[in-house]
Amino acid sequence: MHNKADYIKSAIQYRIACAIFYFISGFGYATWASRIPTIKQQLHLNDAQLGTVLFALPVGLMLTMPITSKLLMHYSSRIIMLIGSLVLTVVLIMIGITNNIWQLIIILFCFGSARNLLTLSINTQGVAVQNLYIKSIMATFHGIWSMAGFAGAAFGLLMVYFNINPFWHFLLVGVVLTIITFLTINQTYYQQPLPDNRKPVFSLPDKYLIKYSFICFACMACENTMYDWSALYFQKVVNPDKTMATAAFVIYLIAMTSGRFFGDKLVSKVGIKPVLRFSGLFIFSGLMLSVLLPYVFPVIVGFIMVGLGVSCIVPMVFSLAGKSDKMNSSSALASISTIGYLGFVLIPPFVGYISQLVSLRLSFGIIAFFGIIIMWLVLKIKDQ
């Protein structure tokens, strides 16, 4: 009984510590996202230039992916989490001191690289902790990431309201997150590295995962579009008040967070295919509502629908990737992210270019059809 009690205590400790690193990742990223309109204004960027700037972050993320996968084969995810968290906070602070577009592009490239180190390692850690539990907990981990995003965006709203310079905002957040990192790292699960010489460092998903990978692509395209452009959409198309624009972004995050905390129970009750199908429907309907009725209340409702739509798709996909019997968990997550994160790389800059050429409303209308693509792909998935 004593051994069982110790096992339960350790599992709870690892779950809490892992959740804290999900929080660090989400809060750090939302801190940057919440100040995009401010930085755009400070550097006098048009929509196309902002699209190019935003392209740098996911490119850094993608190019670092095989390196992170290799590192996770030789070092515990705990070590990579520590490095990723510390580098993320340092680069976040550096964003606040940029004074031209090229500096911002280089620093955002580094920010994307740091984010990949942290994201892939915490998801590898999350799969390892999941294996200590019978019930599903992965959606909850991602819910905590979203909650952190909400908290980071809400704090960003406060900074915008009081006209705090992004540098001081980012410095405060960076110092606090660094302290939390050092206080928590030794409480995380020490996962033995799992070298896998049978697979190349960087490989595409197997047949079991390929459809989920494209669903992940579509979802990530919509999710990152909302991160990068929702506040600007609200400010430019709906209402010019910058505080209201940030508040609309916060409302989107609240909806996404709520969906993730209920995701595990919902999947258990109705199954994964119905949840994925309705997620696609919510994404499409929410974005189209925002495009067709560009007024405060309809757009807020639309943002809520999109938040609920994207909430559970990525946790489901990552959980399935971690169960692959042909790759270890870190390789499986890296391979599925190869396609999924292309949505982060390609789509938000595309939104900026279309916005500059035609309008931001048209960009959001095009992105809405990723919801239809998700529903179509779900129909192709065989029942498990």
Task: Count Cβ atoms within 10 A of the Cβ of residue 240 and give its class: 0-12 exposed, 13-18 middle, 19 or more buried.
Answer: exposed
Q: How many CB atoms lie within 10 A of CB 224?
A: 23
Do residues 331 and 74 touch, judged by C-beta distance below 8 A? no
Q: What is the pLDDT of residue 199?
A: 52
Residue that the structure tokens 């004593």 belong to: 2
DSSP state of 52: H
Instruction: Give me the residue spans of the domains in the chain.
Output: 2-188+205-379
Q: Which string of DSSP letters, residue by residue, matches 67-105?
A: HHHHHHHHS-HHHHHHHHHHHHHHHHHHHTT--SHHHHH
DSSP state of 108: H
Nearest to 217 by CA among 344, 55, 56, 367: 344
DSSP state of 327: S
Q: In angstroms, rounded to a whole number, what is the distance separating the alpha carbons of residues 305 and 346? A: 23
The token pair at 270 is 């109705």
Q: In angstroms, rounded to a whole number, what is the distance separating the alpha carbons of residues 164 and 67? A: 36
Residues of the chain predicted below pLDDT 70: 1-2, 4-5, 194-208, 320-332, 382-384
Residue type, 143: G
Within 8 A by CB and 6+ apart from 232, the residues are 36, 37, 40, 47, 50, 245, 360
Nearest to 279 by CA among 322, 323, 215: 215
Q: What is the pLDDT of residue 1?
A: 44
Task: Count Cβ atoms within 10 A of the Cβ of residue 41 and give its class: 0-12 exposed, 13-18 middle, 19 or more buried.
Answer: exposed
CATH of domain 2-188+205-379: 1.20.1250.20
DSSP state of 132: T
Residue that the structure tokens 């406060």 belong to: 158
Q: What is the pLDDT of residue 17?
A: 96
Find the DSSP H helices in the chain: 2-34, 36-42, 47-74, 77-95, 101-130, 138-161, 166-184, 207-233, 242-270, 272-292, 296-310, 313-322, 329-340, 342-357, 360-379
Q: In angstroms, rounded to a whole number, what is the distance separating the alpha carbons of residues 187 and 283? A: 37
Give the chain's radius of gyration (CA, Å).
Answer: 20
76-104 in b/e burial notation, b at 16+ Cβ within 10 A? bbbbbbbbbbbbbbebbbbbbebeeeeeb
Nearest to 59 by CA among 115, 101, 97: 115
